[in-house]
Amino acid sequence: MNDDRAGEFGPIYFPALQRIRNLWLECEPLVKTTRYDDVISPTELHIKLVDGLRSADSARFDIQWSELDMYTFHYVDSLGLNWRFDRHPNTHSPEKHFHPPPNAATTTAEPSCITVTEVTLVTRAVHAAWRAAYEHDDVSRLNSLANPP
């Protein structure tokens, strides 16, 4: 979990992680593998992609979703690009925010273009943002979609 979370994130909600996994498998042909960090008590879903932004050889999303509908979708790739969409109480930005590339620094968080809160809609919005950046080879598209999904 991110260290900058002030307030309550809540316990991980495993059914949401399962739904997120299934949605990515349904809508993204570049998914190579998915796995949970722990088979007994999972706290994070890892989705590995065969290709990433800016022609990265590989990429991964590390995803958490809580019983309080707080979340993090964190992207990292083989070229070191790092960004994330978050929803959690904090002291540095609105509850729903985006940490832009290249390093997803806490100090550069900005309001998220994702305004929906339901797990399926948030997942589709993150996927749409990633896909827009991927297809146009332009990371500036990540947080610029109007009312995704």
Coarse DSSP helix, strand, coil percentages of the chain, rounded to the nearest 5 percent: 30, 30, 45
Model confidence at 100: pLDDT above 60: yes
Query: pLDDT tens digits for 45-72?
Result: 999 999 999 989 999 999 999 999 999 9
Model confidence at 3: pLDDT above 80: no
Query: pLDDT tens digits for 4-26?
Result: 554 589 999 999 999 999 999 99
Q: Where are the domains of the chain?
A: 14-141
Determine the 3-state secondary structure of 82 from DSSP: strand
Whole-prediction pTM: 0.93
* CB 106, CB 92: distance < 8 Å: yes
